[in-house]
Amino acid sequence: MAIEVGILGATGQVGQQFIALLATHPWFRTTWLGASERSAGKAYRDATAWRLPSPLPDEIAALGVDAATPGRAPKLVFSGLDSSVAGEIEGAFAQAGHIVVSNSRNYRMEADVPLLIPEVNADHLALLKCQSARGWKGRIVTNPNCVVVVYAMALAPLRQFGLETSMITTLQAISGAGYPGVPSWDILANVIPFIGGGEEQKIETETNKILGELQSGAVQNHPVAISAAVTRVPVHNGHTGSIAVSLRQKPDADAVIDAWRSFRGRPQELELPSAPAQPIVYLTE
């Protein structure tokens, strides 16, 4: 039997990505869509302009959009809300007993909220039980900034060599700016620095939490010192990072490559349906 799920912020770009990704998942079925009051009461096809290359599933198009308030949504809710409203709304859903998986930044650095890359720090889910102290009947778990998802994954296997410092310069696609995104006169044939949104700070703090160790019910951040510079480039989708690391040990290239290629996490152990068999792929060309 499929697990019913809801999507908060369903009419936005992140919400549409959730819809597309969940459409073919063997475990989940999207049965509830939440959005702003101006979209509430409309069929989803009338409440948003579908902007993804994959077709809008017919069963989703026909679903009515509800207001982003707890109560009628399924137990499990994926949130693509903008950070300007996510904190209050996600907190209300957790208070009401929902499990919220959030793409927003609002709760990422809270001490009792897991900031999760399942391959790297699945054990941080133990923090969820600490959230009962808030009086929540439900729980919140977050995923990282879009750069950090890949960056922390690449750094995780290097901890064994004494990871000390890292520098990263990102070249981030325009899709990361949402819709309508960056003005064409700004981005065409250009590279834009200082793209806003606190991107550097997110990279320099979230990574340490993810790579940290769970000790006595709390995460002890990894001590790696990180310096980040971010840019926006005229590419539709996909971010690139130029990364340098300093290691206390001096492993040869073969040892580092083997650490990446052999890296596996809890999703691979469980053979979860959407987990890649090999999380990190090293290419020689």
Q: Could you write out the three-class secondary structure of 29-87?
A: EEEEEEECCCCCCCEHHHHCCCCCCCCCCHHHHCCEEEECCCCCCCCEEEECCCHHHHH
Chain position carrying tokens 């009628």: 72
Amino acid code (one letter) for 144: P
CATH number of 146-270, picked from 3.40.50.360, 1.10.10.10, 3.30.360.10, 1.10.4010.10: 3.30.360.10
Parts of the chain with a pLDDT under 50: none
* pLDDT number for residue 285: 81
pLDDT score, position 179: 82
H or E, element range at 4: strand 3-8
Residues near 110 by beta carbon (within 8 Å), at least 6 away in sequence: none
Q: Select which of 98, 124, 222, 239 is catalytic.
A: 239
Domain map of the chain by residue range? 3-106, 146-270
Q: How far apart are CA 113 and CA 133, in angstroms?
A: 12
What residues form DSSP beta bridges with 165?
225, 246
- Give exposure, 136-175, as e/b (b: 16+ Cβ within 10 Å): bebbbbbbbbbbbbbbbbbbbbbeebebeebebebbbbbb
The confidence score (pLDDT) of residue 113 equals 98
pLDDT at 18: 97
Q: Token pair of 74, please? A: 């399924």
Q: How far is CA 89 from CA 9, 69, 176, 238, 285, in A?
A: 10, 7, 23, 29, 46
Q: What DSSP element (H or E) covers 103?
A: none
Can you name the residues that pair with 1 across neighbouring β-strands? none
Which pLDDT value is given to residue 191?
96
Which CATH class, in words, describes the domain spanning 3-106?
alpha beta
98 given a catalytic annotation: no
The active-site residue out of 98, 124, 146, 222 is: 146
> What residues are paired with 132 via a beta bridge?
none
Cβ proximity of 88 and 107 under 8 Å: no
Report the C-alpha dihedral over residues 12, 16, 19, 24, rounded to 10 degrees: -170
Whether 3-106 and 146-270 share one fold: the answer is no
The answer to whether residue 130 is catalytic is: no
Beta strands in 155-197, from DSSP E residues, in sequence order: 163-172, 192-193
Per-residue pLDDT, 130: 96
- Residue 98 sits at the vertex; the CA angle it makes with 272 and 199, to the nearest 5 degrees, is 70
